[in-house]
Structure 1
Amino acid sequence: MTTFAGAPVTLEGTRLKPGSIMPDFTVTDVNLAQIDPMKIEGTKIILSVPSADTPVCSAELAKFMHALEGTDVKLISVSMDLPFALKRWMDMEQNDNLIATSDFKDRSFAKAAGVRMAENGLLARAVFVVNPAGEILYDEYVDEVTQEPDYDKALEAAGVKK
């Protein structure tokens, strides 16, 4: 069961599992371009589902960004934040280890990954590690949306040494 600030929420869409292929989805980057992150070839991806405008989510992105420095693992965030807010956050962080994207337009990621909370329309916190072939190596749908994910397990699945 997933909760948001202690209250149960209903996740809409299909819950993904390790061993399955990450579905294609289209999101908007900070320059308002439509992109399909699963079309990035040749690298493992940590797909983080936070909102950059909250302290816990901002901390999550910063921890992943810094853990991935010097690796070839790509960090992609998907949130419901508007691209303008994501760009402002990216400019403050000054870190190139992240592709920040928004699902505000079509909600195609929310539908593909089963992370949309029916009660508030936001995305539940989740982390996926995807290999270059698109196979999901690790998934975590965080039980309490206001809590941080298990960084160690996600990084281990991505082959990143601490």
Structure 2
Amino acid sequence: MIERPEAATFAGSPMTLIGPIVQVGETAPPFTVIANDLSIKTLADYAGKVRLISVVPSLDTPVCDMQTRRFNQEAAALGSDIVILTISCDLPFAQARWCGSAGVDRVITLSDHKHEEFGRAFGALIKELRLLSRAIFVIDRNDRVTYTEYVPEITSEPDYDQALAAAKAALDQ
């Protein structure tokens, strides 16, 4: 597996990301994750929709909390042809508990805890922490990647406006 030393920092400390850099224009790599009800989910489960994938290290941290709440708030204005998936290595039970306490009901939280398949496929698994790095991916209805953002400093927020604009633009592709 590809290792990318110093591909990101966590509070200023260099981190190694495992997996390739996913490029705009590529077909999104396949992956399997676990839903809050412990069912298996794949990218194909959301076929026919534009998928905005918000990747976070852990929902129980301030920036991840803000990021997921922000996308949940924005989801109402996006319509039913765009689905927002938040993927972390949190256990599905923790994700469900967090969503309930945070009132998050429009974003779908998915866990990469079991096999780290998503993180490895999308180049977002932090080797040193066994967590996912902060990143955003937009995938159109034809499974093409139309937007990527690997946030260089993991404790920083992503560019929400660019990600949301990319998701809306992908509706027309």
Q: What TM-score range do you get, normalising by the shorter chain?
A: over 0.9
Match of 2:139 among 130, 141, 146: 130
Partner residue of 2:25? 19
1:95: Cα distance to partner? 3.5
1:94: Cα distance to partner? 3.0
CA distance in 2, matches of 1:120, 1:99: 24
Partner residue of 1:154? 163
Partner residue of 1:67? 74
Counterparts of residues 41-52 of structure 1 (less than 5 Å): 41-50=47-56, 51-52=58-59
- AA in 2 matched with 1:119: E
Q: Which has the higher strand share?
A: 2
Q: Secondary structure at the match of 2:115?
A: coil
The unaligned stretches of length 5 or more in structure 1 are none
TM-score (norm 1): 0.94
Match of 2:126 among 100, 103, 117: 117
Q: Secondary structure at the match of 1:2?
A: strand
- AA in 1 matched with 2:86: S
Could you tell me whether the CA contact under 8 Å between 2:134 and 2:154 is conserved in 1? yes
The unaligned stretches of length 5 or more in structure 2 are 1-6
What CA deviation, in whole Å up to 9, does each residue of 1:78-122 have, x standing for no partner?
A: 101001110001112334311101001111101100111111111
Could you tell me whether the CA contact under 8 Å between 1:129 and 1:158 is conserved in 2? yes
Q: Which moved more, 1:4-13 or 1:85-94?
A: 85-94
1:93 aligns with 2:99: no
Partner residue of 1:4? 10
CA distance in 1, matches of 2:133, 2:156: 11
TM-score (norm 2): 0.88
Q: Secondary structure at the match of 2:131?
A: coil
What root-mean-square deviation, in Å, do the aligned CA atoms of Structure 1 and Structure 2 show?
A: 1.2
- AA in 1 matched with 2:159: D
Identity of aligned residues (%): 39
CA distance in 1, matches of 2:31, 2:41: 8
1:37: Cα distance to partner? 2.9
1:29 aligns with 2:31: no
Partner residue of 1:108? 117
CA distance in 2, matches of 1:135, 1:38: 12
- AA in 2 matched with 1:62: R
